[in-house]
Structure 1
């Protein structure tokens, strides 16, 4: 009996989480720009506390610790550790940016990025790393940052009040950073494309147009875990900073209500979206076999 109990206990799913909060970036990499924000570190700490309350082992990467190397190492360690039935929760609070696309996957010729302390993480890289998680692992990603659109999309809205700083790297800064580090960012995109076996599918396009088979190459074909991503806004909107939390994170925490929320991931997204103004409408994306995952209670290991 004892051995059976031990075997059952050993099969209990485990949960890991990773939380990134960046209140400023390195001027050395971003060509003098530091992008000061106020609430991103608070967001990371609050998301880590939520994860721990649900039985997850959490890792925090705060501002200067939120480097490309540290984030990639944490993702790769989690991907090696977790097995089918396990759970991984990742949150990011900071600036979003763009670099020109050189791998041929983006219709708008721009790759979206997370602005980490010492350099940007390209969306292709993030999805490639997430694709390394094993089949049956559940991944929930929350991104409280801006992912700017282009001239073919709707015009940008007004940037809001001083207390609501937009979490976006200004395009002029982005181009200066890219010009200064062009070979680095071009090589990153080409390396991901090479490892993925060719063209890398843009995540946003793949998620919005899953029926377009010519786009489902590289990462998406090899994507075996179940992924739910809730981002803070649409491509043509701003995710706003605040004094204590970002607008999106603040609403997520309000809806969650210290665990009193009863519902699925789909309803969590709907409630968060209903509590934010039309100028900031969170998006919900999925990859992999995520339909059963969407019906589960959020943050359930």
Structure 2
């Protein structure tokens, strides 16, 4: 049994004028936590996280795992969408992650990710933690850690990187990226920073940039007993910390009842 992880963090988005601040810290924080829990961790930071590199690293990690292994992939960066071309999306849009080279049109579609996540051996545990816009509201939680003047949405509008002729007709309702389908397409568990009608927020805590979901997920995890399950962990994040007045995002946990009962990072 082996435990391996890939942690991706992208602040730098050349050609978009939509750089972020907390994603690299997110990736390094996840990497440190996972290393401390016995994982062999690979990171892709900024220019390392091209679409080709992300696909290669994800594919290698998942397809190379054997029964009893655990694979964790964390992603912090922008989310976006493109017009759906194969008719599998009710809202007419494919959701996507934004690699470092999104400015060159390199987008990683949910359809492509589902194929990657579906290519693992039986008995392999796979967890995707996505701190990007998928994306509600209510006013509770604790804003005391949040620095003034924050936060910023981790959503990259298609108009920023897509050619004008490829954009869908104006007037359609906005649908934000959602990767919830991955848990039904090969991935065992998905922890997402928000619902598919919300933003995940890039912000700062005590002078240090972070994603709101990553910051509170790790804060909650540090206070849990060693025997805690993913369901226990999720309940410790929401509604204790999120959403709040300034961070109106509802974290999500997708997967089977059995998978949610697994011990965290076991």
Q: What's the TM-score bracket when you normalise by the shorter of the two chains?
A: 0.7 to 0.9
Counterpart pick for 2:12 among 16, 24, 43: 24
Structure 2 match to 1:231:
192
Q: Which structure would you say has the larger Rg?
A: 1
- 2 CA distance for matches of 1:205 and 1:76? 18
CA distance 1:270–1:258, shift in 2 (3 Å): closer
Larger helix proportion of the pair: 1
What's the TM-score once normalised by structure 1's chain length? 0.72
Q: Report the count of equivalent residues.
A: 236
Q: Give the 5 Å matches for 1:1-301.
A: 13-27=1-15, 33-118=16-101, 119-147=106-134, 162-173=149-160, 175-176=162-163, 179=166, 204=180, 220=185, 223=186, 227-243=188-204, 244-257=209-222, 260=225, 262-274=227-239, 275-277=241-243, 279-286=248-255, 290-300=256-266
| Contact 1:95/1:167 (<8 A) preserved | yes
The whole-number CA distance in structure 1 between the counterparts of 2:5 and 2:65 is 11
Aligned to 1:186: none
- Change in 2 beyond 3 A, CA 1:162/1:105: farther
Q: In the superposition, relative to structure 1, how do residues 125 and 281 fare at CA in structure 2: closer, same or farther (>3 Å)?
A: same
Q: Root-mean-square deviation (CA), in Å? A: 2.6
Residues 16 and 177 (structure 1), Cα distance of their counterparts in 2 relative to 1, 3 Å cut: farther
Native 8 Å contact 1:98 1:174 kept in 2: no
Partner of 1:213: none
From the superposition, tell whether residues 43 and 203 of structure 1 become closer, same or farther in structure 2 (CA, over 3 Å). Answer: closer
Question: Are residues 262 and 65 of structure 1, via their aligned partners in 2, closer, same or farther at CA, if it must alter by over 3 Å?
Answer: same
Which consecutive residues of structure 2, in runs of 5 or more, have no partner in the other structure?
138-145, 169-177
**CA 1:125–1:205 in structure 2 vs 1: closer, same or farther (change >3 Å)?**
closer
- Unmatched runs of 5 consecutive residues or more in structure 1: 1-12, 28-32, 149-153, 183-201, 211-219
Whether the aligned pair in 2 keeps the contact of 1:97 and 1:174 (CA below 8 Å) is no
**Distance in 2 between the 1:134 and 1:277 partners?**
36
Q: CA deviation at 1:166?
A: 0.5
Q: TM-score by structure 2 length?
A: 0.81
Mapped contact 1:19–1:48 kept (Cα < 8 A): yes
Contact 2:134 2:179 in 1 (8 A): no
* In structure 2, distance between residues paired with 1:170 and 1:261: 40
**Alpha-carbon separation, structure 2, partners of 1:206 and 1:81:** 19
How far off its partner does 1:81 sit? 2.1
Cα gap change, 1:59/1:294 in structure 2, threshold over 3 Å: closer, same or farther? Answer: same
